[in-house]
Structure 1
Amino acid sequence: MYRKAPRIARILTCAVAVPALLVVAGCSSDSGSGSGSDGGKKDAGAQQQQKKPSAPPTVAAAKFAALPDACKALKKDTVEDLVPKADKAEGTADESSDPQSRRGCSWGGLDDKGVKGSQYHYLTYSLQLFESNQALGSGEKRATEYVTKQVNKVQGKEGVKDVRANPAEGIGDQASTIGYGAREAGTDFNHAVVVARTGNVVVTLDYNGAGYAGTKAPDPADLLKGAQTATKEVVASVAAANK
């Protein structure tokens, strides 16, 4: 009996030690769980940083930065051929609140042939420059959209008749022609309009005419040919102004 006492003491000592170890192990487990939570927060933060939106792409720079002197965009011989006996050989410049982005010029003249009648010719055009804009897009994109608006605007004019709209080749980067008839101030006029884009610049040209004293209005085919010739010269003047 005496010898059993030490054995019982040792058993009790072990029984007490085992729960203590379990408690320590449990604490260690909680501590490890805390470290894992911190690591999870760091991973979540890294994912949020990766999801941040990237900067928007920059738009392409505009091809042209300047417009030519509108009234000098056509050759003198071209003006004399298309508008015989023009009231002002140098043309009349459009008034513009922003000449850096919009300019224009026009000529008008009555070719009086006495008893053979008279023909009136009028030539006008505008140049519109579009700059590249981060919010609105590149200058070329904006100019392309403007071409469509101009073509629709011409075709939608009140009182026009016999409208003929077609794409045109060989004039800038893109072009459309619109021919139509209209009665203006009691007189029948024929119009030939060309809307052309070169880079980020749009040229809208209207060449028209009427007949007086028994003379018919200028032939639509002749007006269209003259309008295309003039538009090509204006388009070329844009490139020359940006050299």
Structure 2
Amino acid sequence: MHRPAQRDQRDQREQRPARRGPRLNRLLVCAAAVPVVLVTAGCSSDSGSGGDAKPQESSTSPGESASANTVRPAAYAKLPAACAVLPGKTLEELVPKGAKSGKEGRSEDTATRASCSWSSLQNNGIKGSQFRWLNVSLLRFESDATRGEGDKLARAYYAKQVREARSVPDAQNTRSEPVAGTGDEATAVRYDLKKKEGAFKQQTVVARVENVVITLDYNGAGLAGDKTPNADDLTKAAEKAVKDAVAAVSAANGEGGGAGTPPAASPSKGASATKSPSPSASESAAKSASPTASSGTGKS
């Protein structure tokens, strides 16, 4: 009984390796097959070719990436001739002795920036004389993918022009007020300037219509003993002139009526260079128009 039991145990020990052999082989085969499955699954996931796989949807539509770099085109594509923005009647009121003396400022691109100035000296004999100087500057902004839309650029420049007009050195009695019914927005700034030639009354009216900014500088003085002009009268005349300029810009782009018939004489070219419709440019034009008139806005 003892030997059969030992033999049975030996037989069991001898049989165990035989049974483990096929199991180990199966494990090795399965282990070898695992990387193949993983590689196949990885490729299927990347290519999206699996039966239930769906392609990832982009968070932006195809058109959004293109439109992100585009801006709305500017409303106005050109400017009117600077010396023709005001009708003859308006010029005769503002510069009675200089309605035909318009001098166009130099510009490399008159479709983008333009200006014109007039001066008037009315001699009243022993009473002295009345001096008037007028300058109209126009600046048009194009829409740009980097800088933004034209009307927004014009709005920023408009605000800058108003701030500068309000902060002229040595200005006295500065006042500003909005001008109703003039383009999209308009502001009139007026102040007094004491010069050796006399007391000058300065009016600067800034207006914006779409992507165009108009800066009108108008000043007057009584020289050689003549009386100082009334500031209210000068401001009303300047505001009227700005309305004409706004209408001329709209008409040049096919909207509304024009500013009217310009003066008969053609303006002469080659006045002082106008880099931008700024008060400093206005001062340069004023000095070139009359050696006695250092009456511009006086910006540094």
TM-score range with shorter-chain normalisation?
0.7 to 0.9
2:240 is aligned with 1:219:
no
Alignment-mate amino acid for residue 77 of structure 1:
K
1:79-118 paired onto structure 2 within 5 Å: 79-86=91-98, 89-118=100-129
Aligned match of 2:81: 69
- Counterpart contact for 1:59–1:134, Cα < 8 Å: yes
CA drift of 1:185 comes to 4.3
Post-superposition Cα deviations, 1:2-51, rounded to whole Å, max 9, x if no partner, equal xx9xx9787654332111111112222232222334355558xx87x879
Alignment partner of 1:35: what SS? helix
Provide the secondary structure at the position in 2 that maps to 1:223: helix
SS in structure 1 of the partner of residue 188 of structure 2: strand
Query: Which runs of 5 or more residues in structure 2 are unaligned?
Result: 49-54, 255-300
Structure-1-length-normalised TM-score = 0.86
State the AA in 2 paired with 1:24.
V
Deviation at 1:143, TM superposition (A): 0.6
Does 1:196 find its partner at 2:201? no
The Cα of 1:68 is off from its aligned counterpart by 0.5
Match of 2:157 in 1: 146
For residues 196-236 of structure 1, what are the alpha-carbon distances to aligned partners after superposition, in whole Å with 9 as ceiling and x for unaligned? 01111110001110012332221111111001100000110
Paired residue secondary structure (1:124): strand
RMSD across aligned C-alpha pairs, in angstroms? Answer: 2.8
Judging by fraction of residues, say which structure has more strand: 1
How much does 1:165 deviate? 1.9
Residues in 2 aligned to 1:148 and 1:50: alpha-carbon distance in whole angstroms = 38
Between the aligned residues of both structures, percent identity stands at: 37
Alignment of 1:154-233 (within 5 A): 154-233=165-244
Gap runs ≥5 in structure 1: none
Alpha-carbon distance between aligned partners in 2 of 1:63 and 1:242, rounded to the nearest angstrom:
9
Aligned position for 1:132: 143
8 Å contact kept, 1:71–1:90: no
Q: Structure 1 residue 116: deviation in Å? A: 4.3
Does 197-206 or 88-97 show the bigger shift? 88-97
Q: Name the residue aligned to 1:33.
A: 38
Which amino acid in the other structure matches residue 33 of structure 1? L
**In structure 1, C-alpha distance between the alignment counterparts of 2:111 and 2:35, rounded to whole Å:** 73
Mapped to 2, the partners of 1:203 and 1:141 lie a distance apart of 15
Deviates more, 1:33-42 or 1:226-235: 33-42
- Aligned equivalent of 2:290: none
